[in-house]
Structure 1
Amino acid sequence: MLVSKKKYEELVLMNSKLEEDYQGIINEMRIEAEKERDFLINEIIGLKALSKLNEELEKKNYCILGIEKNELGDLIAVTSTRGDKANDILLYSLKENKYKSCNNQPRVLVSGKFLNKELKIDDIQSMEDNKNSGNGTILLKYLKKEAKRWGYNTITADLGTAEPKKLSKLVNFYEKNGYDVTLKKDETAGSVKIIL
């Protein structure tokens, strides 16, 4: 197909305009990302809190897996051991440029059956007094990531409580986080499962 010289020049101009627009968008995104990173480092997280927390974690052979903001707006450091074996995941608050355990140290306690690739939640401690902090959801999010890294393909847990209201909250919590919930006929206990 032959193209006239004028049409060819128009196509070249259009191509260079598209390239300029693309570069402009990329530069704007880069500038915004840098601003957000600087804001997080300087205004929210606080290097002092991270440094102190890292010192404490190194003594226990733990490391920070990530930093998350919970539903209350607090920044939370998600931590676990450095090894490749299943281990507990704990949360620390980074509020006011200090680190501290929050809400009686939210954590998920696990044990694994590596032969059948099943990781079991033994206990999840993140109950808040009528406040939805979102710490439990953060724990389960990182548990999924770590379970994959540890080589598991299923996470399970047993549910049981004497209070039906608490069981209902647990069922909602696990379902909201993508787990399949199975209750016994009397609805006083059950189990949860997610395939990774």
Structure 2
Amino acid sequence: MIIKRIMYRILIKRRIRKDSSFREYLNKLKESLKINEEILGVEMNIESLVIVTKLVSDNSVYIMLNSPKYIVSKPRITGVKENYDKRDIKIGDIQTEDNNIGNGSILMKYFIKVAKEMKFSNIYGDISIVDKDHWDRLIHYYKKFGFKVSFNKEYTRGEIQLNLLSN
């Protein structure tokens, strides 16, 4: 596993060195970051390199993917702190433009990492009836990251939860 991770990092560094347009984009992105926004890393989905950024506001955390492809609508996870007495963060929304290229996995990996760094105890969220046509994909996605997934008796809505203290 460690060797795999090292090889992955070497591959990303080589791709960045070879791709001058990506390096130029990365430099422009660094110059245009908002005050509360920071670059967390560079990852590779199935198609290309993406830059992972974090933006924190009063009650929200945004993990976003940046690349020349995602100028208008960036893939992102939005986390919302609804109750200031608890150390829980709710996934308000996950938006990805393309399915099955790894963007959702990259986003969730960084979202969990940031939630732990920010000392949250739990990540939770809802699975809406709107997503019913791809619940099987959502269940697989959340379980891959260790979330507990449950549905009501009528199977019209679901909930997810990840205890960060036990991970």
Match of 1:158 among 126, 129, 132: 126
Residue of structure 1 in register with 2:47 after alignment = 73
- Range with bigger deviation, 139-148 or 164-173: 164-173
- What is the deviation of 1:40? 3.6
User: 1:71-110 deviations in whole A, cap 9, x for unaligned?
Assistant: x2311111112679741111112xxxxx352683111111
CA distance in 2, matches of 1:172, 1:78: 23
Contact 2:53 2:64 in 1 (8 A): yes
Q: How has the CA–CA distance of structure 1 residues 111 and 163 changed in structure 2, closer, same or farther, with 3 Å as cutoff?
A: closer
Contact 1:160 1:167 in 2 (8 A): no
Aligned-partner residue type, residue 43 of structure 1: K
CA distance in 2, matches of 1:127, 1:34: 25
Residue of structure 2 in register with 1:121 after alignment = 91
Q: Is the counterpart of residue 87 in structure 1 residue 57 in structure 2?
A: no
Contact 1:44 1:75 in 2 (8 A): no
Contact 1:84 1:150 in 2 (8 A): no
CA distance in 2, matches of 1:101, 1:133: 14
Aligned-partner residue type, residue 29 of structure 2: L
Contact 1:87 1:110 in 2 (8 A): yes
Q: TM-score, normalised by structure 1?
A: 0.69
Residue of structure 2 in register with 1:107 after alignment = 76
Contact 1:86 1:147 in 2 (8 A): no
Contact 1:68 1:138 in 2 (8 A): yes
Residue of structure 2 in register with 1:53 after alignment = 29
CA distance in 2, matches of 1:33, 1:137: 15
Contact 1:108 1:124 in 2 (8 A): yes
Contact 1:167 1:188 in 2 (8 A): no
CA distance in 2, matches of 1:103, 1:139: 18
Aligned-partner residue type, residue 112 of structure 2: K
Runs of 4+ in 1 over 6 A off after TM superposition: 32-35, 82-85
CA distance in 2, matches of 1:163, 1:136: 15
Q: How has the CA–CA distance of structure 1 residues 192 and 49 changed in structure 2, closer, same or farther, with 3 Å as cutoff?
A: same
The structure that has the greater radius of gyration is 1
Q: TM-score, normalised by structure 2?
A: 0.79
Q: Which runs of 5+ in 1 are unaligned?
A: 1-31, 94-98
Residue of structure 1 in register with 2:142 after alignment = 174
Contact 1:110 1:121 in 2 (8 A): yes
Residue of structure 1 in register with 2:3 after alignment = none
Residue of structure 2 in register with 1:17 after alignment = none
